[in-house]
Structure 1
């Protein structure tokens, strides 16, 4: 099954490898704007009245969230549009469905391609974070990278499912507007969810991006004893659940 998944991944990699610079830069604009507007602009005022729960200042506080945000956006968007293009425009997706491989292998191959997209873009944001903070090990330690890969897997998996479900590019825009954009601001990227009222906290903790932001922030700045290990479990369970749904979608897909 692993070999079949890598074969599907290789088909996407042949296209990705000639667009590495474009993919790496595509998700960098929004995080840079947020870093300048919130981290340097708003952050300079917040630092005078409050100390962030992680990091030395508000700019450092939001940088892990920007890594989570960029990996989410590109893993989801790039995967969804890739599958939609194959299904709705080039009409090459039917050939993949005829391959004598397990539906889970098809899902994992497409998901892994989305993970690579997300890592390319988030790698650019990590470079920016290192330049702003000078903390290389904070953003390149094993726990940080593990959470980043899991986040890419979750949203790439979600992108595969959405790509298999929609009937037009306009539908993709609806998913983006009502799912990804709200999660970008409510997924603990700009704030500490522990300080929220209980009602809002219940909503925020339903979002997988929240666990990524919390985990990345802890992996970057806090001692290992304060790391929220549950964040790894939540993201892993989400990835497994999406894999089961995605395999089912592939096994019943009719295009």
Structure 2
């Protein structure tokens, strides 16, 4: 089995292998889609509750006491407009990570079907990409519901512009890739809770979803900009409300590099997996 999975770790990668890589990735993704399509409504609604609570509590509740110019820089009429792009980033992160992690954990720890996938003559990178694509789809389904809410509240169609959607896909790719790695690493569902409590929950509040990181002291700014969600939140916000001349273009390559790095790590994990 190890020799079959030496895709990047024992052989030199050749360009002619790309068609096979794409085909294998889509095969894995199709298997995930067949399981996912029966729960489309459930998946789309699952990650909508938390953003709606945040929108009601912070956007409409706390936001009524926050006026433009009180520490929030940008072209926003109210605090609700400010946090809506962050809610899209937050929902896509939560579902891309959680859905991917629990899907792999279910196959590994309960249904015991994961070994069959490992025995298949499929490149480990294709395994990772296929699982990651399913996580991206989960994240887009949920964040699509939040975007619909944002359109109803603001009527701003920039939530559907190509730059916004590109950043959204990259954010889903990053956290779906992280979800694959965590799903391959944990030994119980309790361990998933630890990752969620110590990684995802802190990032939810520190990833520039509720505040403008440019207003922070230098020390805190350094911490906040270590988080990939920060680049997604600030980029999505700029894509909706700022002109292209003020868009943080660096956010795209940073998220892309993180997604690629996680893909390489995930493919290595698949190549070494012994389940």
TM-score (norm 2): 0.91
Contact preservation (8 Å) 2:128, 2:270: yes
Contact kept, 8 Å, 1:23 with 1:120, in 2: the verdict is: yes
Candidates 189, 206, 212, aligned match of 1:186: 206
Is 1:51–1:57's contact at 8 Å kept on the other side of the alignment?
no
Deviation at 1:53, TM superposition (A): 2.0
CA contact (8 A) 1:72 1:155 kept: yes
> How far is 1:11 from its partner?
0.4
How far apart in 1 are the matches of 2:164 and 2:181? 26
Structure 1: state its 5+ residue gaps: none
Note if 1:196 corresponds to 2:216. Answer: yes
Question: Which whole-Å CA distance do the structure 1 matches of 2:68 and 2:175 have between them?
Answer: 36
Distance 1:51 1:192 in 2: 8
Residue 101 of structure 1 and its aligned partner are, at CA, apart by 1.2
Equivalent residue number for residue 143 of structure 2: 122
> Matched residue of 1:190: which SS?
coil
Two-structure CA RMSD over aligned residues (Å): 0.9
CA positional deviation for 1:47: 1.5
Provide, for residues 134-171 of structure 1, a one-character-per-residue CA deviation record: whole Å limited to 9, x for no partner.
112x1000000000000000000000000000000000
Counterpart secondary structure, 2:193: helix
Say whether 1:93 aligns with 2:117: no
In the alignment, is residue 110 of structure 1 matched against residue 153 of structure 2?
no
Looking at structure 1, the residues matched to 72 and 268 of structure 2 have their Cα atoms a distance apart, in angstroms, of 43
Alignment check: 8 A CA contact 2:68 2:79 kept: no
Are 2:182 and 1:159 aligned?
A: no
How far apart are the structure 1 equivalents of 2:116 and 2:202? 35
Runs of 4+ more than 3 Å apart: none
Q: CA deviation at 1:48?
A: 6.6
What is the distance in 2 between the residues matched to 1:218 and 1:49? 17
Tell whether 2:162 aligns with 1:142: yes
Q: Which runs of 5+ in 2 are unaligned?
A: 1-20
1:57 Cα shift? 1.3
Q: Given the alignment, which residue of 187, 212, 222 partners 2:242?
A: 222
